[in-house]
Amino acid sequence: MLSNAAFGIALAEIVWINLLLSGDNAVVIALASRSLPPHLQKWGIILGTVPAVVLRIAFSGVVAYLMTVPFLKIVGGALLVWIAYGLLRPERCEKNEHRRTACTVWMAAWTIIVADAVMSLDNVVAIAAAAQGDMTLLVIGLVISMPIVICGAGLLIRLLRRYPILVVAGASLLGFIAGDLVITDPWLTGWFGDPNSLVRLVVPASIAAALAAAGLARRGPKPDGAYVEPQRGTIGARRRGISSRDHRLL
């Protein structure tokens, strides 16, 4: 049992480590939620972040085993590349506005959960070490840092709207992380040994560059998937059977 002073120091370490290592997680949250209407973005973030934190807590108990499972990092890296590519152009769900909105919220939440789980494998090692086996300390530290990460994601969403090119940069960052995950998989290191510094730079950078090229190729005049506020009165006019041209004359 830790003393009060030791508990406070360890708690501060967990919060600080989680914030330092959660920058890429905030990028995922912002990318996945940017296409939602403003009044639903907080729900997409919350529905994705809370389960992600629960998974981090669960991972901390078995992280030593997970890091030795062959192919886990390869699968996780491939999944992260797929997520990054999908975030470059969010899919449309339904033509029906209510169904499409609900679907998009859950899709954003699911993307956050999966991507956070993949990227948190390495992060949990440092967090679990700082907790020194105290699960209460671990839970408190993660809960305290969660609102800060959410606020950071909110700021990133505003930046993504103002500078759409950052969407490509964010997807490239996820690709770099995915490449580093793949080349450190136990199965690959068992065959080829630990990758040297050149390999750890070239492979992730190549994946990041490929995603950047794909993102730039898919960019249009407007950031695809970003929420666009409808003009006032246009929706109501359409429901009454009035064309856009007639509505302007009104």
Distance CA 32, CA 15 (A): 24
Q: In whole angstroms, give the CA distance from residue 69 to residue 149.
A: 29
What is the per-residue burial (b if ≥16 Cβ within 10 Å, else e) of 41-53? beebbebbbbbbb
Q: Taking Cα atoms as reference points, which of 16, 44, 47 lies closest to residue 30?
A: 44
- Residue 119 has a pLDDT of 79
Cα distances from 171 to residues 128, 155, 221, in angstroms, run: 28, 17, 19
Identify which has the larger pLDDT, 172 or 17: 172
Does pLDDT of 7 surpass 80?
no
The pLDDT of residue 29 is above 70: yes
Q: How confident is the model at residue 211 (pLDDT cuts 50, 70, 90)?
A: very high
What tokens does 95 get? 């033509």
In degrees, rounded to 5, the angle at the alpha carbon of residue 225 between the alpha carbons of residues 223 and 226 is: 65
Task: Evaluate whether 19 touches 35 at the Cβ level (below 8 Å).
Answer: no
d(CA 110, CA 129): 28
Give 207's pLDDT tier (boundaries 50, 70, 90). Answer: very high
Q: Tell me the average pLDDT of the chain.
A: 76
Q: Is 0.85 surpassed by the pTM of this model?
A: no
> What is the pLDDT confidence band of residue 213, given thresholds at 50, 70 and 90?
very high
Highest mean pLDDT among 71-85, 217-231, 233-247: 71-85
Confidence of residue 3 (pLDDT cuts 50, 70, 90): low
pLDDT of residue 220: 55
Does residue 55 contact residue 117 with C-beta atoms inside 8 Å? yes
What pLDDT is attached to residue 122? 66
Tell me the percentage of the chain whose pLDDT exceeds 90: 7
Q: Name the CA radius of gyration of the chain, rounded.
A: 21
